[in-house]
Amino acid sequence: MNSYRPAADSGLHEACGVFAAYSSQQQDFNAASMAYYGLYALQHRGQEACGIAVASAGAIRCHKDSGLVSEVFNSRELAQYPPGNITVGHVRYGTTGSSERSNAQPIVVRHTRGAMALSHNGNLVNASELRQQLEMNGSIFHSSTDSEIIAHVINQEALHHDIEEAVSRAMPRLHGAYALAIMTESKLIAVRDAHGFRPLCYGRTAEGIYVVASESCALDAVGATFIRDLLPGEILIFDSKGVHTRREHCNSQPHRLCVFEFIYFARPDSIIEGSSVHEARLRAGAFLAQQHPVEADVVIGVPDSGIDAAIGYARASGIPFGNGLLKNKYIGRTFISPTQSDREDKVRIKLNPVPSTIRNKRVVMVDDSIVRGTTCARIVRLLREAGAKEVHMRVSAPPFLYPCFYGTDIDSSESLIAYQHTLEEIRQIIGADSLGYLSLENAQHLAQEIADKHADGGFCTACFSGDYPTATPLETSKIRFE
């Protein structure tokens, strides 16, 4: 058996969040402010960097930097933006490329045919080959992300075609996951890859402003009414003539929305392709109660994404739900862990047991996943120190066994605890009295509204099953262009 060395940061992270807005009237539309609030609602999708670009009077102004939305944009910075009728925004967690400022988005490209700003959620599986081809043809890169590759491919097509046609012609060259918001001086274009790996939806405000976002919760944040999700393979164009759709790439590939959007990535108040994220997590907990029953006194959830599944487990099992772990809401990305001992104590700073809920109780602890095992082991230890008689861990996802190539930061099986160890070994490593994972079959039925539309379930579960919908990349390292 291979030796297993968990990383210091044992959590799972998603690529990013996309936000954009279009108004046919530039007057009185504070585009940057709307993007700010939209990105705030999507902050959970990326805490590494963010940026906002605004089109105004035939020019594009963009500001981006490392940090949270509230750190990068204050009132003074937002006031620097002129009124504009189009905006594109982005929050990033880097699944490819380093955390340098140069990798922040939107990507802005200026050339003889005009300027373009692009925000991207997802990963390409043929990024290395595309980048090599582009560089051989003279393209110069300023970042190490897949997103800049997409921008170059589109620009290459735009030398001979209008922007809409350029995007359409670029899509067959882009293999993998991409949800895009693309802004020119006069148009907003939203694009979703033909598999539909990553979500993208749009809505409209009472003032007639169209809004595009990775999740419907961002539409709510800016007062927009949800209209619909983009179809996999769809190109949606917003311009002075209205809203237009191009669907020549729709139905060209099997539907493969990432199932982990419902387990962890998305906010519980979001609706994705007609399915409530909150309801999907309740269903996950109910499935767990059926699959892995246990005699216990209380069910608790690990904040935040484990809470709904814990409630579902409690309802299905009849065991009372309790508030057993309190999360420090004022600690975030900027928390510094200068030494190894500090890193070990980081869980104590973020999470604290509620003794009255835990003491002398048999506890069922529900979390969304076990990636490398270090965090849940520390939480189990905290519960025992708080007086728990027994700790039974239930996981609202199947075991992670394989790398993800479509937008999460798992680029190798070697750091995954379930790849290296049996169920019983994992139980012993994390110190739980029992351990149960959600089955792959039940994971495919979390969002029943989606599963009912597709004979094969309609989800990508490659990180659990190894069944990849596309060819896998030749180069898989997160920092593969540096």
Percent of the chain exceeding pLDDT 70 equals: 90
> CA-CA distance, 19 to 119, in Å (whole number)?
8
Q: What is the pLDDT of residues 53-83, one digit of tens each?
A: 999 888 999 999 999 999 999 999 999 999 9
Element of type H or E holding 277: helix 277-291
What pLDDT shows up at residue 15? Answer: 61
Type of residue found at 160: H
The model's pTM: 0.91
Q: What is the CATH number of domain 16-253?
A: 3.60.20.10
Q: How many whole angstroms separate alpha carbon 261 and alpha carbon 265?
A: 5
With a CB cutoff of 8 Å and minimum separation 6, the contacts of 404 are 410, 411, 462, 463
Q: How confident is the model at residue 13 (pLDDT cuts 50, 70, 90)?
A: low
3-state secondary structure of 170: helix
Distances (CA, A) of 276 to 198, 215, 266, 283, 347: 16, 11, 10, 11, 30
- What does the alpha-carbon distance between residue 379 and residue 337 come to, in Å, rounded to a whole number? 18
- Alpha-carbon Rg for the chain in angstroms: 22
The span from the CA of 103 to the CA of 138, in Å, is: 20
Please report which helix (H) or strand (E) contains residue 228, including its range: strand 224-229
Q: Are 481 and 141 in contact (CB under 8 A)?
A: yes
Query: Rounded to the nearest 5°, which phi and psi values hold at 124?
Result: -90, 145
- Residue 466 carries which side chain, given as an amino acid letter? G
Lowest mean pLDDT across 389-393, 428-432, 455-459: 455-459
Cα angle 207, 213, 219 (rounded to 5 degrees) comes to 45
* pLDDT for 402 beyond 90: yes
Q: Where are the beta strands (DSSP E) in 335-389?
A: 351-353, 362-367
pLDDT in tens, 164-202: 999 999 999 999 999 999 999 999 999 999 999 999 999
**CATH number given to 273-447:** 3.40.50.2020
More confident residue, 9 or 310: 310
β 298-301/362-367 pair status:
parallel
Percent of the chain scoring above 90 in pLDDT: 75
CA angle at residue 129 from 124 to 130, to 5 degrees? 70
Q: What is the pLDDT of residues 109-167, one digit of tens each?
A: 987 778 999 999 999 999 999 998 888 887 777 777 899 999 999 999 998 999 999 99
Instruction: Give yes or no for a contact between 284 and 210, defined as CB atoms under 8 angstroms apart.
Output: no
- Residue numbers annotated as active site: 16
Enumerate the β-bridge partners of residue 17: 91
Q: What DSSP assignment string belongs to 414-473?
A: TT-HHHHS-HHHHHHHHT-SEEEEPPHHHHTTSSHHHHTT-TT-SEE-HHHH---SSPPP
Helix (H, G, I), strand (E, B) or coil at 202: strand
User: Residue 439: what pLDDT?
Assistant: 97
Q: Return the domain boundaries, the chain.
A: 16-253, 273-447
Q: How far is the C-alpha of 359 from the C-alpha of 361, rounded, in Å?
A: 5
Quickly state the pLDDT bin for 10 (edges 50, 70, 90).
Answer: very low
The Cα-based distances of 217 to 136, 181, 191, 222, 308 in angstroms read: 42, 17, 19, 9, 17
3-state secondary structure of 260: helix
What's the pLDDT band for 103 if we cut at 50, 70, 90?
A: confident
Biggest distance spanned by C-alpha atoms of the chain: 72
Q: Is the pLDDT of residue 27 over 90?
A: no
3-state secondary structure of 180: strand
